[in-house]
Amino acid sequence: MSTPKGSVLVVGGGIAGVQAALDLADSGFYVHLVEKSSAIGGSMSQLDKTFPTNDCSACILSPKLVEAGRHLNINLLTLSEVLDVSGEPGNFTVRVKQNPRYVDPNKCIACGTCAQKCPKKVPNEFDLGLGKRKAIYLRYPQAVPLKYAIDPKACIYLNKPGRCGFCQKVCPTGAINFDEKPKELSLEVGTIILALGFKPFDPTSLDFTGYGKLNNVVTSMEFERLLSPSGPCMGHLERPSDKKEPKKIAWLQCIGSRDINRACHGYCSSVCCMYAIKQAVIAKEHAQSGDLASSIFYMDMRTHGKGFEAYYERAKEQGIEFHRARVHTVLPAENDNLTLRYTDTKGNVHEEEFELVVLSVGLETDPGVMKLCHELGIQLDQDNFISTTPFAPVATNRQGIYVCGAVCEPKDIPQSVMEASAAACKAQELLSKARWTETKKKEFPPERNVYAEPPRVGVFVCSCGINIASVVDVKEVTEYAKTLPGVVFAQNNLFTCSQDTINQMAEIIKRERLNRVVVASCTPRTHEPLFQETLREAGINKFLFEMANIRDQDSWVHQNWPEKATEKAKDLVRMAVAKVLGDEPLPYNQLPVTKKALVIGAGVAGMVSALSLADQGFPVCLVERKDRLGGHARKFFRTWQGQPMQEYLEELTKRIEDHPLVEIELGATVEEVSGSVGQFKTRLSNGKDVEHGVAIVAVGAESYKPRTGKWNYLYGKNPNVFTLLELDQRFIKADKALSGLNQAVFIHCVGSRVPERPYCSRVCCTHAIDQALKLKELNPDMDIFMLYRDIRTYGKREHLYQEAREKGIIFIRYDLEHLPVASEEDGNIVIEVEDQIIGERIRLHPDILVLASGVRPRDDVGELSKLFKCAMTQEGFLLEAHMKLRPVDFATDGVYLAGLCHYPKPVEETIAQAQAAASRAAMILSKDAVPAESITAQVNPMKCTGCGVCTRVCAYHAVAIDQNSGKAAVDTGLCKGCGACVAGCRSDAITLRNLGNEQLMAEVEAAMEG
């Protein structure tokens, strides 16, 4: 490969694409992010809440989108599509077609006047047609970029020039340009990441669901919009037929999934069970009457992710009804209601009426995506998802092109985010030589020292077109601002955020020698960084700045009271001025980085992370407590797709051992850790000290062995009872005796999903079924029985379950009230289990009994988590910073996790997570120094009594009592500025910089003055 390019193309602006782009842009690469619609955000932006945390989807997504939208090294190409790709890994040329927006994004200030005047209404695709939008529109309220676009199919002017054109007439900034034409761009990039997402299954073809004919049958995606505050009924749940709040809702699972008859989708869509439970829970919360009844009709309840099983159990406690039954036909009933007839497992028929039916539709690949893949030569699998393999989970068949998210298999958000970082990691490996070659860097002039200067405040009052000015008398507010103490300059601007005003502001700051700035306009959420940057460009510290939100919190909410709104605007400005007077310049804290990683645990996860970082040129210290590499994977026979595990492991260990940048410490554990991100110092049990900038924790887990108790099933008592891994050993050794068996029985969920281990171990269903198939391979006449509770072969693994049934393997369901009973007769195993469907007890005589016992956390994980100040779940797995969007980060900066210590997972997910951890770690290692929080806590030693309350309340372990002085001291590298210590301090000795009591009181007093 010649010198690779230092830029990357990411196709698809959903959460996966955005995460991949951010990872790369933050570690030294220039990213072109191509999105076909007018705004990034993807499917996640359409969701109301996300499981299992019930976080508001838009709220947790928006900051990432804003970050991507503003990033100096992300070139956002909306309304764009990839035409073709030529070249080779490291040096691709991509042709991109950019469709016209007809609105100049540099001029549009998203005031919305255009859409108000636009006479053309069309169904809003963001709300799946449940609501309407105008021909000129914002994709959604929090859209990034927050710029209007014209829908050329709907626009009257574009279809009949000379007609309409109202938007152009009313646009206050002249942003409308009907003459815009499609553009073709040619991009030179080193690698390509496909994050093409999914499309919800369209159930119209399943006529028995009533979808499309019965008004009150909706898809789950439509239901998300019905729940969403930004949706067509503003979050007040209404059913389509009569806009009444439904009192009784049913969810039908597996619509378009696990169906090879009508839907032609043999796979499981993985996420529907969880989202249905979430929707049922959230709908109950939304219900104003408080008596919403929810029922979920399902085949197998698949809650196999972290925190999912607990969520399911909680939902049952909250009164959500779960019916293990499928409904044949949704029938119309009186008052637009719907009748469902269903048969329970015992064969009893029930009939129930519902007011709304939600179809839990599966995920499928968009035909447009299939076409693109065909053009790029990207191989799809039998289900039309992009093909990947377990040992290279984010690699496509075309070298240099990577993939992440739901386009390669249906999956949830954390898994997509993990893969996004993994894809970014693979891109970095390929292009590591070109790091920082194409990135841009913002340079600022040196800052003026303002300490000795008396305050000179400048106030900029924004009209925001007519958004503010039509309600608030901005001139009056401006004149008023001039009268406030400390204010030496005030000005009204039509659009303070427009490029020319921004430039003008910088000039004014310099000319008037302003040393404090207040902007009275919109929200700091979107605009504070822009104005702060302007301060820096004008040579003053960016923390000498305050915003007064006189739009969202004033003109928009008090439209009918212009006089009072003007008074409120004055109040808000007065408060901001009072506050800004107390602001002091804050340091742009930075922490120098030791460019070395510590990886703890040399199983597959640890080795993959270590190798990836080493391949990127970063030295790694790999610590393993045992005397050999390989970890848990040593015990595995093959992946569920049939690849032999030991061959892979051998190759991986060889590469690790031969890598000049990897130093391996066998038989060692971590004893002591000090420092923080960029500068950790760790002492190992063998006495060695390691200095490192980041750490990856990949210490694995253990397999549960049911030696005693309720889940024992003769384990350890009869020689023919094994765990899955013990049977794997026999496969590895090619044990001939296995072919001679007549009958084998597997018991699922042994010690999983039980009170003492309430989580699902995720891997055992697939593993057990694969083993059963292997036994069938050895002896096709063998009778095999699988005793299970719910089969959880999520995603493509469902094909394995189907294959097992096809081959005559028999699945018998049991539940906790009717456990299988194992006994011995003359040394032979006898199993009794009830088949619920025929209502009879079955007696089995297996030659071997295999216990699908789950994964359990290691007992010593707690110690390690304390050393790195990381949290743990109740079950004893390590807890990531955020379950949804930061799946490999710890709350402690610079420490990451991967593999089984996070949660049980198969090898392909372990590898993806390990690569993701490497990507996140590289974001630190690629820099000489990393930025740290500026707004940090400050201790006044005169007041501090050294009581230590602050050290206990600090979630980041940033405060400690100094041994010498006996007073609290804050490590500004660790401090996040959360303020917990400030609130906790009994002596008023701690303050947050620029948020001190005096300043806040000044603001409060200013509020009272008016």
Partner 1 sequence: MEKESVDLKTLRARVKKQIEDAVPDVRIDYCLTCGLCASGCPATGLEDMDPRKFLRLLVLGQDEKILNTNWIYSCTMCQRCKYACPMGIDVGRIVYEIRGMRPKEKRPKNLQRSCDLQKKSNSTGIPNEDFVWVVNDVLEEVRQNEPQWKDLQAPIDKKGAKYYLNQNAKEPTVEPEEMVPLWKILHVAGIDWTYSSKWWDGANYCLFTGDPEDWEYTVRKQAEVVDELGCRYYINTE
When the beta carbons of 297 and 722 are compared against partner 1, the nearer one is 297
Distance CA 414, CA 887 (A): 6
**Torsion angles phi and psi, residue 771, rounded to 5:** -65, -40
480 near partner 1, rule: CB under 8 A: no
When the beta carbons of 384 and 802 are compared against partner 1, the nearer one is 802
Distance CA 324, CA 817 (A): 16
976 near partner 1, rule: CB under 8 A: no
Burial class (CB in 10 A: 0-12, 13-18, 19+), 112: middle
835 near partner 1, rule: CB under 8 A: yes
479 near partner 1, rule: CB under 8 A: no
Q: How many residues sit in the footprint of partner 1 (CB under 8 A)? A: 46
Structure token pair of residue 621? 């210290």
When the beta carbons of 349 and 452 are compared against partner 1, the nearer one is 349
417-476 residues near partner 1, rule: CB under 8 A: none
- Using CB under 8 A, which of the segments 73-81, 177-185, 258-266, 714-722 binds partner 1? 258-266
Question: Can you say whether residue 121 is alpha, beta or left, with left for phi > 0 and alpha for psi between -120 and 50 degrees?
Answer: beta
Min CB(704)–partner 1 separation in Å: 28
Q: Which of 375, 832, 962, 1009 binds partner 1 (CB under 8 A)?
A: 832
Structure token pair of residue 141? 């309220």
What is the Cα Rg of the chain in Å?
31
Min CB(328)–partner 1 separation in Å: 3
811 near partner 1, rule: CB under 8 A: yes
In order of 667, 708, 824, 849, 871, the CA distances from 829 in angstroms are 41, 17, 5, 8, 43
Residues in the chain: 1010
Min CB(762)–partner 1 separation in Å: 20
When the beta carbons of 654 and 841 are compared against partner 1, the nearer one is 841
- Using CB under 8 A, which of the segments 66-74, 577-585, 625-633, 803-811 binds partner 1? 803-811
808 near partner 1, rule: CB under 8 A: yes
Helix (H) or strand (E) holding 487: strand 487-493
SS (H, E, C) 517-561: EEEEECCHHHHHHHHHHHHHHCCCCCCCEEEEECHHHHHCCCCCC
Residue labelled with tokens 């369901």: 813
When the beta carbons of 18 and 327 are compared against partner 1, the nearer one is 327
345 near partner 1, rule: CB under 8 A: yes
Residues 724-753 as x/- pattern, contact with partner 1 by CB under 8 A: ------------------xx----------
Helix (H) or strand (E) holding 917: helix 907-925
Burial class (CB in 10 A: 0-12, 13-18, 19+), 186: exposed
Q: Which of 1, 260, 816, 1007 binds partner 1 (CB under 8 A)?
A: 260
Q: Which of 674, 683, 610, 682 is nearest to 869 (CA)?
A: 674
Q: Which of 179, 184, 825, 840 binds partner 1 (CB under 8 A)?
A: 840
813 near partner 1, rule: CB under 8 A: yes
Structure token pair of residue 812? 């018998």
When the beta carbons of 179 and 840 are compared against partner 1, the nearer one is 840
Helix (H) or strand (E) holding 75: strand 74-77
Min CB(264)–partner 1 separation in Å: 10
Structure token pair of residue 337? 């209601």
205 near partner 1, rule: CB under 8 A: no
**Torsion angles phi and psi, residue 701, rounded to 5:** -150, -170
- The number of CA neighbours under 13 Å toward the Cβ of 937 is 30
When the beta carbons of 220 and 853 are compared against partner 1, the nearer one is 220
774-793 residues near partner 1, rule: CB under 8 A: 783, 785
When the beta carbons of 726 and 847 are compared against partner 1, the nearer one is 847
259 near partner 1, rule: CB under 8 A: yes
Structure token pair of residue 367? 């035909």
Question: Can you say whether residue 234 is alpha, beta or left, with left for phi > 0 and alpha for psi between -120 and 50 degrees?
Answer: left
326 near partner 1, rule: CB under 8 A: yes
Pairing of β 363-364 and β 183-189: unpaired
511 near partner 1, rule: CB under 8 A: no
Are 339 and 351 in contact by the 8 Å Cβ rule? The answer is yes
Burial class (CB in 10 A: 0-12, 13-18, 19+), 64: buried
Distance CA 392, CA 195 (A): 16
- Using CB under 8 A, which of the segments 110-118, 810-818, 851-859, 982-990 binds partner 1? 810-818
Task: Quickly count: other Cβ atoms within 10 Å of residue 624's Cβ.
Answer: 23
In order of 5, 167, 505, 521, the CA distances from 175 in angstroms are 35, 9, 22, 20
347 near partner 1, rule: CB under 8 A: yes
Q: Which of 166, 342, 618, 640 binds partner 1 (CB under 8 A)?
A: 342
842 near partner 1, rule: CB under 8 A: yes
Min CB(822)–partner 1 separation in Å: 14
Distance CA 550, CA 690 (A): 53
Structure token pair of residue 89? 């890994």
When the beta carbons of 205 and 559 are compared against partner 1, the nearer one is 205
- Using CB under 8 A, which of the segments 344-352, 418-426, 549-557, 941-949 binds partner 1? 344-352
Min CB(346)–partner 1 separation in Å: 10
135 near partner 1, rule: CB under 8 A: no
- Using CB under 8 A, which of the segments 256-264, 600-608, 636-644, 716-724 binds partner 1? 256-264
Residues 271-300 as x/- pattern, contact with partner 1 by CB under 8 A: ----------------------------x-
349 near partner 1, rule: CB under 8 A: yes
375 near partner 1, rule: CB under 8 A: no
When the beta carbons of 689 and 817 are compared against partner 1, the nearer one is 817
Min CB(345)–partner 1 separation in Å: 7
When the beta carbons of 169 and 805 are compared against partner 1, the nearer one is 805
806 near partner 1, rule: CB under 8 A: yes
- Using CB under 8 A, which of the segments 216-224, 703-711, 799-807, 965-973 binds partner 1? 799-807
Min CB(295)–partner 1 separation in Å: 14
When the beta carbons of 252 and 605 are compared against partner 1, the nearer one is 252
- Using CB under 8 A, which of the segments 171-179, 418-426, 520-528, 838-846 binds partner 1? 838-846
- Collect all residues with Cβ–Cβ distance below 8 Å to 565 and sequence separation of at least 6: 471, 472, 554, 555, 558, 559
When the beta carbons of 292 and 831 are compared against partner 1, the nearer one is 831
Residue labelled with tokens 């255009």: 114
Are 61 and 75 in contact by the 8 Å Cβ rule? The answer is no
Min CB(810)–partner 1 separation in Å: 6
Are 53 and 47 in contact by the 8 Å Cβ rule? The answer is no
- Collect all residues with Cβ–Cβ distance below 8 Å to 697 and sequence separation of at least 6: 600, 601, 864, 865, 868, 870, 878, 890, 895, 896, 897, 898, 901
Q: Which of 94, 206, 282, 404 binds partner 1 (CB under 8 A)?
A: 206
689 near partner 1, rule: CB under 8 A: no
807 near partner 1, rule: CB under 8 A: yes
344 near partner 1, rule: CB under 8 A: yes
Q: Which of 99, 718, 802, 938 binds partner 1 (CB under 8 A)?
A: 802
Interface contacts to partner 1, rule CB under 8 A: 206, 208, 254, 258-263, 299, 324-329, 341-345, 347-349, 742-743, 783, 785, 802, 805-808, 810-811, 813, 832, 835, 837-838, 840-845
